[in-house]
Amino acid sequence: MERTERESCTQTVELLVMVNERYNYCLYMFKRVKRNPTLSLERISDTHFRGTLKRASTFDSPFRKSKTIFEFPIEELSVIEEATRQGIEVVHPPARIHAAFTLVDADADIDSRLYDFQRDGVQRAIALGGRCLIGDEMGCGKTIEAIAIAKHYGGRCIVICPSYLCRGWIRECETWGMDVSHVPKGKSAIPEGNVVISYGIATKVVRQLGTFHLVICDESHYLKSHKTKRYKALRKLIKKTPHAVLLSGTPAPNAPVELYTQVSMLRPSFFGTYTDFVHRYCGAKQSPLGFVDVSGATNKQELAWLMKRVLLIRRLKRDVLTQLPPKTRTRIDVNVTHPLMSTIRKKFKRWKAINQMEETRELIFERNLIVSELFRLTSEAKYKVVKQVVADLPKHTIVFAHHRGMLDALEEALPNSIRIDGATPMGKRLELQDKFQNGEVDYAVLSMMAAGTGITLTRASTVVFAELWFVPGVLLQAEDRAHRIGQENAVDVRYIIAAGTLDDHVYRKIQYKIRTVDRCVDNRQDRVW
């Protein structure tokens, strides 16, 4: 090797300084690594960082020694530099930067139906090597983006989704000329060609699935726990598949820790181990009872920055669907005069007292039990007042609830309505959806858990929540059954909050969680709630 070539191997190409919200510094740089013909983005050691920026007095960082984050083939360097000069954002891996994205002639119809931002999403997914998380906000049309990616790559494709979404996926694939076969429960033989299968069945028959060219996991937040059989089984499938696309409008429904499993499936070594991730981004701390609390969020800006550049494709409706009518939220405070209120007040008093005590296993168990009881009692106490509120609702309204008793009360108060809950057969969901969309009924009474995803009810312009839920992602998904592509009217979302009940506490908690997750995923904190 000549001297000039050796020197080029250690040349620093670009220096990037990342500043997080705590004013600590995260330094990365592009460089050619000696004895390794790659262009790497490395995290610089603390010592090197201090010397480079000459800010030793203010620097306070837990970063370990240098760790490679990205690797680029050395022959791509010229492509990267040229793209940078032209103002093109370089993503990992840069590989091929397309000036434009067009499907083959046979698929010109789907290409013409894509919005500009959807076409950009497909282009970015291809630039990322077909291994990415499409986290577009609900209602932006992630399904058609995934189908376009599948048609671009060709080859055998498998769609894995919650069981109630299987028929919807089959319908969409058939609409866009993509032949698929459904693997129902109890079927032993896996058909050839493209396959649609539920998470539950896929987990059981993962060894019999064979090989695929592309895996699509819809509602990928179903894989949020790294301890589940579902995650462990499907991770092996995705690891051996050349391309994998995860879809979720709420990649982290409740906390940043839920991002780890999805990232690890696509880029297994990017964030290191689970322990590395939770200590860096979740403020992991040891509980007095021995377990590790990972419900927090730290280095939020850094996490959002890395996610966007490595695998996350995310657009918000307000940024890309400017023609979509607005969505507003209204809090409806109601007073509940029910005999159960005295019991609720007593349990609240005990709950507050426990929160002031030193944690023990027994107290934690009691606290969780009290919250569960308060959730049920709040629902029962609200039956009468909720029925009064919904009696004045306009036609074409969706009402969400959780408890069966509340759903029964709503169905009684809203004649000429459809109802979708956990007992509704999967094959009937789309039939009921079409019935509402066609104007055959006036109202939809829905379980937020069973019908909060996977259906489109754009005929509705009013969405009411008779009850709350602890996970904000569930509420956001449910809201956007109406506020999505195809909606022509402004959407009014109303939350019924009963004073003096668990509603007040849950509503405040939801607001905090949404602000935290927004900062980690979108690097913004301006969502109005």
Reading the block at residue 470, the tokens are 């602890």
Reading the block at residue 87, the tokens are 């103002």
Reading the block at residue 448, the tokens are 């937020």
pLDDT at residue 528 in the model: 59
Fold of 102-315: Rossmann fold (3.40.50)
Fold of 327-521: Rossmann fold (3.40.50)
Burial of 10 (0-12, 13-18, 19+ CB in 10 A): exposed
Going by their DSSP bridges, the two strands 36-43 and 25-33 should be labelled as antiparallel
CA 273 from centre of chain = 21
pLDDT digits (tens, 9 = 90+) for 48-68: 434 433 332 233 333 333 333
Mean pLDDT of the chain: 79
Q: Are 295 and 367 contacting, i.e. CB atoms less than 8 angstroms apart?
A: no
pLDDT at residue 407 in the model: 96
pLDDT at residue 11 in the model: 32
pLDDT at residue 301 in the model: 81
Burial of 392 (0-12, 13-18, 19+ CB in 10 A): exposed
Query: CA separation (Å) from 279 to 268, 384, 401, 441, 463?
Result: 17, 47, 36, 51, 39
pLDDT at residue 244 in the model: 95
Q: Are 475 and 491 contacting, i.e. CB atoms less than 8 angstroms apart?
A: no
404-430 in b/e burial notation, b at 16+ Cβ within 10 A?
eebbebbbebbeebbbbbeebeeeebb
Return the domain boundaries, the chain: 3-76, 102-315, 327-521
Residues with pLDDT less than 50, the chain: 1-80, 83, 88-106
pLDDT at residue 272 in the model: 80
CA distance 227 to 220: 15
First-residue to last-residue Cα distance in the chain: 61
Instruction: Assess whether the region 102-315 and the region 327-521 belong to the same CATH fold.
Output: yes
pLDDT digits (tens, 9 = 90+) for 279-315: 888 988 877 666 788 888 988 887 887 888 778 999 9
- pTM equals 0.75
